[in-house]
A and B are shown apart, each in its own frame.
Chain A
Amino acid sequence: MSNTANEQLLRNFILENYLFTDDQSKLDNANSFLDTGILDSMGILELIYFLDEELSIKVETDEMVPANLDSINNLLGFIEKKTA
């Protein structure tokens, strides 16, 4: 899947399930999910399930860090690394 397609898929997942809107302007790709309160610890787990189910990306224990998961940009960078 292309980077753009991944970005849209991830953005829609966050917008629909945590921001409860279709309005794309409500989510900035650089914003930290934790700092902005978009996701809590349960939300991070759901995100990990989502990555596994929708993108077949398995998040290993040592990969479960903010640098990989805490924003749309971080997620895109992480997916790129995993699929390289």
Chain B
Amino acid sequence: MKKSDLLERFLDISQEYSSSCALQTSVEELSYGELKSQIASVGHFFKDIGVLPGDRVVLVVDNSINYIIAFYAIWKAGAVVVPLNPQARFHEVLKAVRQSKACCLLLDKVTPQLIEQSNKDNVSLVSLEKVSFDKDCTNNIYHWNDALKASSDDDWYKHDSDSLAQIIYTSGTTGDPKGVMLTHGNLACNVQDIVDYLQLTRLDSVLNVLPFHYSYGNSVLHTHLFVGAKIILAGSMAYPQEIVNTLRTSEASGFYGVPSTYSLLLSRSDWSDNPPALRYMTQAGGPMGASLTTELLQACHQSTLLFVMYGQTEASARLTWLPPERLTDKLGSVGIPVAQVELEIRDEKGNRLEHSNIGEVYARGPGIMQGYWDNPSATATTLGGGWLKTGDSGYFDHEGFLFLKGRNSEMIKVGAHRINPLELEEVINKLDFISESAVIGVDDEFLGQKLRVFIVGSESRENLFALKKHCNEFLPPHKIPREIMWRDRLPKTASGKIKRFEIK
């Protein structure tokens, strides 16, 4: 087995465990053999429609068996996967397609706007939903069913460990989202580290509620296929009791969540009868309060392990993990570095600090990204001398356990989403009746934070509707402010910058 290629590993696994269940939903199951065969067909289809090695293919598909088939089929064709939030609006999809210079776009559902634009930009469209198209635009539009029915071949592209595997767009601290470039080597190293500390085997099965387009969900997907385990695709977290019921009936051995997942489960479901097969749970995606961690531990059966973890998209996913047996005596810590990651705490000048001193967390290792796609200035700010500047501050205790003390930026964390307030203000300020706005995160019982926007402009019911409608058109649901407040003015610094932290 070559560690450098998750695709090659998948081929070995799918041969060895051909009849084992790989993917399961409430209505269907797919064995490793069946999954491989469908990937072979769709990979062949991509080549047929002109996708070449190194090309970017944008994937705007909800968590599903089709998402996973498409993802590995893109790799089979030698191309690069660019997953986006399936709820992304037209403008966001268009921006990502253009920024990544993608040649192909795969969507749950195409819209007339996208058909027209893709036609102009000469981008192929593949629609998962069966729709009829205008005859003038059908040249570059394809149906997913045709991709699944394509003849298969055994020509699986051989990737180098340093070839680009994936671009994950992440909210940056300034301006537009940045495309994190991860190679096949980056992903494979990090997957191996995660598999090792979670001790994942083919006997494991995960009930997954995390979106695959984020690095946390992405790592769940690849780690399980890496060992030949089963991925059970769960529905939305909107109905927590159904998730708990499925945990019991499916006999899943693993469950992954962000703090809001556990907050919802504990407050909105009956957890008193611990799912008997649940071997472990993991938590990442932002700090979880000590009280919630303790409550979760108390709710779980003693035999269920809880892994607290910390990472970044820029690090493929995972930087640290807290061994479950140390959870109680290191409560509040995100643990120790994963096997192939090295961490340092540095001061503002970049000097290394000794334990107990608070500074910025720097990371190094084979899982660290190559940089931001087509953004050398952002890359130069974040990567230097082989180290990643995480933007998080924290300290090591005397035993080498990392404690985070917040971020050095204004990013807002809503559930699993990192949100840049500047990006939202840019959208909101486009409305004529708004002169300026400021978005902040306020504490929320379930989501960690929720969005509140302060508006300076002409207040009326019509304008409130217009603002909500505008947000709905240009922003996905998780980026739409839940609270809107009107103000006569916003507090500013002498240089005119909004003092975000002073607004309440």
Contact = CB atoms under 8 A, between A and B. Distances in A.
A40 B241 contact: no
A64 B472 contact: no
Nearest to A35: B236
B87 interface: yes
A10 B492 CA distance: 41
Contacts of B238: 34, 39-41, 43-44
B243 to A, nearest CB: 10
B130 interface: no
A59 to B, nearest CB: 9
A42 interface: yes
Contacts of B446: 42, 45
B358 to A, nearest CB: 33
A77 interface: no
Interface in B456-494: 465, 468-469, 472, 477-478, 482
Nearest to A63: B241
Nearest to B414: A42
B465 A40 contact: no
Nearest to B473: A20
B228 to A, nearest CB: 31
A43 B239 CA distance: 11
Interface in A34-61: 34, 37, 39-45, 61
Contacts of B30: none
B269 interface: yes
A40 B270 contact: no
B264 A20 contact: no
A61 B270 contact: yes
A20 B270 contact: no
B241 A37 contact: no
B49 interface: no
Nearest to B444: A42
Given A20-B468, A20-B469, A21-B469, A41 B270 contact: no
Interface in B78-122: 87
Interface in B338-371: none
A68 to B, nearest CB: 10
A61 B477 contact: no
A44 B240 CA distance: 11
B237 A61 contact: no
A1 interface: no
B469 A62 contact: no
Contact of B239 (A16, A17, A42, A64): A64
Contact of A37 (B87, B239, B415, B465): B87
B240 A64 contact: yes
Contacts of A41: 236-238, 264
Contacts of B242: 65-66
A43 B472 CA distance: 14
Contacts of A17: 468
B430 interface: no
A16 B484 CA distance: 14
Nearest to B261: A41
A33 to B, nearest CB: 8
Contact of B241 (A16, A21, A61): A61
A42 B241 contact: no
Interface string B225-240: 0000000000111111
Interface string B245-284: 0000000000000000000100011100000000000000
B484 to A, nearest CB: 11
A20 B472 contact: yes
A38 to B, nearest CB: 10
Interface string B164-193: 000000000000000000000000000000
A40 B236 contact: yes
B239 to A, nearest CB: 6
Contacts of B478: 40, 42
A44 B242 CA distance: 14
B447 interface: yes
A56 B359 CA distance: 50
A64 B482 contact: no
A34 B477 CA distance: 12
A5 to B, nearest CB: 22
Contacts of B87: 37
A34 B465 CA distance: 22
Given A37-B87, A41-B264, A45-B446, A65 B241 contact: yes
Nearest to B467: A20
Contact of B268 (A16, A21, A61): A61
25 contacts: A16-B465, A20-B465, A21-B465, A34-B235, A34-B238, A37-B477, A39-B238, A40-B238, A41-B237, A41-B264, A42-B415, A42-B446, A42-B477, A42-B478, A42-B482, A44-B239, A45-B268, A61-B241, A61-B269, A61-B270, A62-B270, A64-B239, A64-B268, A65-B239, A66-B239
Closest 8 A/B residue pairs (Cβ): A41-B238, A20-B468, A20-B469, A44-B238, A41-B237, A40-B477, A61-B270, A64-B241
Interface of A: 16-17, 20-22, 34, 37, 39-45, 61-62, 64-66
Given A39-B238, A43-B238, 5 more contacts: A40-B238, A44-B238, A61-B241, A62-B241, A64-B268
